[in-house]
Amino acid sequence: MPGYYLFYSMETQVITVREHIIQTACKLFHEQGYNLTGINQIIDEAGLAKASLYYHFPSKEDLCVAYLQRRNKLWFDGLESYLNGTSEPRHRIVKTFDFRALHLENNNFGGCSYIKIISEMPQRGEKINRQVLLQKEKQRLFFLELTRLAIGNRKTAARVADTIFLLFDGGTVQCQVYREVTPLQVARRAVVELLDGL
């Protein structure tokens, strides 16, 4: 496997070139935005030639899709680990808001990758469009499943779950705007009272 094992990740693990590119792009796209991050900066930071990047990713848009998939994986992996040991559905829902606040703080209040990318590219490409909708739907179903476990599979469950999802996204974007965790704490409390009132 020539070209493999050439780079080291932050945890000093041996990784592939492709993985190294994704990690570099992931950091820059999320910190500076997709449109404000040029291919030039990515290859500078990653320490490779331009044609090498284009060998692994045919276009910037393809790299963007890989970025979105990676953010999605990082989020759900981190969440799963954070919820480990918590089995009660209501607690899992509420702790998801806690983790979101923690996650945003650790990411310098960068907001939601998917919302950001569609804000940057209103007439989004087909690949990016599919990714965003796919992953937003995954988040929605996550709340729906937990809500059904929490309040029973009654008729209103879908609407309650969607309301929780609205508070989740609202809290996320307002934390991005105000650069503080307060909005997500307000959202968390609203969710508790919503579930307790049922």
Partner DNA sequence: GTCTATATTGTGATAGAC
Partner DNA sequence: GTCTATCACAATATAGAC
Buried b (16+ CB within 10 A) or exposed e, 170-197: ebbebbbeeeebebbeebbebbeebbee
197 forms part of the interface with DNA (CB under 7 A): no
123 lies in the site for its own copies, by CB under 8 A: yes
CB of 86 to its own copies, least distance (A): 24
Identify the residue among 11, 12, 13, 40 touching DNA (CB under 7 A). Answer: 40
Q: Which does 148 bind (CB under 5 to 8 A by kind): its own copies, DNA, none?
A: none
**Could you say which of 15, 16, 18, 33 contacts its own copies (CB under 8 A)?**
33
Helix, strand, coil fractions of the chain, as percent rounded to 5: 75, 0, 25
- Which residues inside 56-85 make contact with DNA, applying CB under 7 A? 56, 58-61
Instruction: Write the DSSP string, 7-69.
Output: EE-TT--EE-HHHHHHHHHHHHHHHH-STTS-HHHHHHHHT--HHHHHHH-SSHHHHHHHHHH
Output the smallest distance, CB 10 to DNA, in A.
19
Residues binding its own copies (CB under 8 A)? 31-33, 35-36, 110-111, 114-116, 118-123, 132-133, 136, 159, 162-163, 165-171, 173-174, 176-178, 183, 186-187, 189-190, 197
